[in-house]
Amino acid sequence: MTTDELFEIDDPRRGRVAAFGGMAFHEIRARTMLNRMAGAPAGGMAWTLNPYRGCAHGCTYCFARTGHQRFGFGITEDFSNQIVVKVNAADILRAELRRGRARGDWVMVGTSTDCYQRAEARYRLMPEILTALADHGVNFTTTTKSALLKRDTELFARAAECADVLVMTSLGSLDDRVRRAFAPAASPPRARLDTIRALRAAGVPAGVLIAPIIPHVGDHPAALDALVDACVDAGALVVFPDVMRLKAVLRPWFLHRVAADLPPRLARRFAAGYGRREAMPEDYVRRVTAHVDARARQHGLPTWPEYIAARTPAKPEPARQLRLL
């Protein structure tokens, strides 16, 4: 069963619609918040939790865009302008946790869309969600491109005293021109790194998802080195590199945007690279991710599997070992 099937939302337009700032917020009451991932091992990252659907950050490459169709919306402008808000998220989560759901597992908060996007400044769903997770000692991780997360630093610190917590920001380039072209409403790179710095100062385990690494734009070895160095300087405990992928249904719109926003030479390279495929060739991906891993290693950082393994207590039953990848 997928995340969306579990929500059982027939049509978010039936909910109250609040409009502000050129956006519509569809306030719905979810029936469940914790969604088990099919095949996930016990003790691993087995649950997802998404208080919002659609994302005002509007990253042109975003994989979650296609999921917006399940709510009756389009995958281009609708995705960043029509936001579904689960206004009862914390109440439902608490009820599920009281029933023992997710006990002993990890919960991934905001996997589908960013839970610190613009709507969160108004609806403030995350403080109650973090409090509920901390109260029940639930292990969790979250990833954001927003500096708004800094607002909840104390809550993350409290949660980290009660359970395993890992907060990630995702950042594929230090160059703000890249953000403006591909992730127009995300926080600037330095602001995201400052968030990591604040979390680490408060004792919260935090790292950087170096993603997406955009071919021809953010993949120069010197740029990747500078990015890893900046992550380390901010206090990141781990970095995880990932190269941009592009869903087929999104490609025509993405390439149209690229052609409008980037120099023609670059747009042509994108069309050649992604025109017929979802991902760059394997050897390219291996080379780029290995470069990031090597730079991180020079700083003494563990790889992602090493970081996770170091925080996984040995268990007598192999089937219950934490497996995150």
Q: Which residues bind ligand SF4 (CB under 6 A)?
A: 55, 57-59, 62, 64, 113-114, 145, 183, 186
Q: Which is nearer to ligand SF4, 59 or 102 (CB)?
A: 59
Least distance to ligand SF4 from the beta carbon of 42, Å?
27
Q: Which is nearer to ligand SF4, 134 or 143 (CB)?
A: 143
Q: Which ranges of 143-250 does DSSP label H, i.e. alpha helix?
A: 153-162, 176-182, 189-201, 221-234
Rg (CA), the chain: 19
Of residues 106, 149, 4, 116, the one with CA closest to residue 64: 4
3-class secondary structure, 130: helix
Least distance to ligand SF4 from the beta carbon of 142, Å?
12
Q: Which is nearer to ligand SF4, 256 or 297 (CB)?
A: 256
Q: Which is nearer to ligand SF4, 66 or 303 (CB)?
A: 66
Euclidean distance between CA atoms 72 and 26, whole angstroms: 12
Q: Locate tokens 């927003």: which residue? A: 146
Per-residue DSSP letter, 148: G
Q: Which is nearer to ligand SF4, 186 or 208 (CB)?
A: 186
Least distance to ligand SF4 from the beta carbon of 136, Å?
26
* Cis-peptide into 188, omega within 30 deg: no
Of residues 272, 142, 158, the one with CA closest to residue 215: 272
Q: Which helix (H) or strand (E) holds 85?
A: strand 82-86
Structure tokens at 30: 């979810």
CA angle, residues 63, 67, 73, in degrees to nearest 5: 120
> How many other C-beta atoms lie within 10 A of the C-beta of residue 233?
12
Least distance to ligand SF4 from the beta carbon of 105, Å?
23
Q: Which is nearer to ligand SF4, 82 or 96 (CB)?
A: 82
